[in-house]
């Protein structure tokens, strides 16, 4: 069974640009969450999607957005990039937040974004 796949794994952008990151969850998983990991702030929750609906949102500015498609794949977008957006962005999936697999997240390897 394939794990959570995140693309691209590495990317470099300049300030002011925008970026889109993609996440393919484990087959059959319907919930996707996104986290930002930085040395200074650690792991911080961005948002969670289930059945194409945002269930939960962290404390990030509106420049950070996401969406989920009908096949459960998810994308997140960061507009007007700032130096502080440099981070490892982790995607996690779970079967169903309302079922027996609730609260058990499987993480991808992440997308490492560097903003110059």
Using CB under 8 A, list all residues that contact other proteins.
4, 31, 33, 35, 42-45, 48, 55-56, 58, 90, 92, 94, 97-98, 102-110
Q: Closer CB to other proteins, residue 16 or residue 43? A: 43
Q: Closer CB to other proteins, residue 22 or residue 44? A: 44
Q: Kindly state the smallest distance separating residue 112's Cβ from other proteins, in Å.
A: 9
Would you tell me how many other CB atoms lie within 10 Å of the CB of residue 115?
19
Q: State how far Cα 3 lies from the chain centre.
A: 15
Whole-angstrom Cα distance, residue 6 to residue 108? 6
């Amino acid at each position: 069974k394939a794990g959570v796949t995140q693309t691209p794994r590495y990317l470099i952008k300049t300030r002011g640009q925008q970026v889109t990151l993609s996440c393919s969850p484990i087959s059959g998983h319907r919930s996707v969450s996104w986290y930002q990991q930085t040395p200074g702030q650690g792991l911080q929750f961005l948002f969670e999607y289930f059945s194409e609906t945002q269930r939960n949102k962290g404390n990030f500015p509106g420049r950070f957005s996401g969406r989920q498609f009908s096949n459960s794949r998810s994308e997140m977008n960061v507009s007007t990039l700032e130096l502080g957006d440099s981070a490892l962005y982790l995607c996690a999936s779970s079967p169903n937040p309302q079922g027996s697999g609730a609260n058990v997240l499987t993480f991808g390897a992440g997308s490492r974004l560097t903003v110059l």
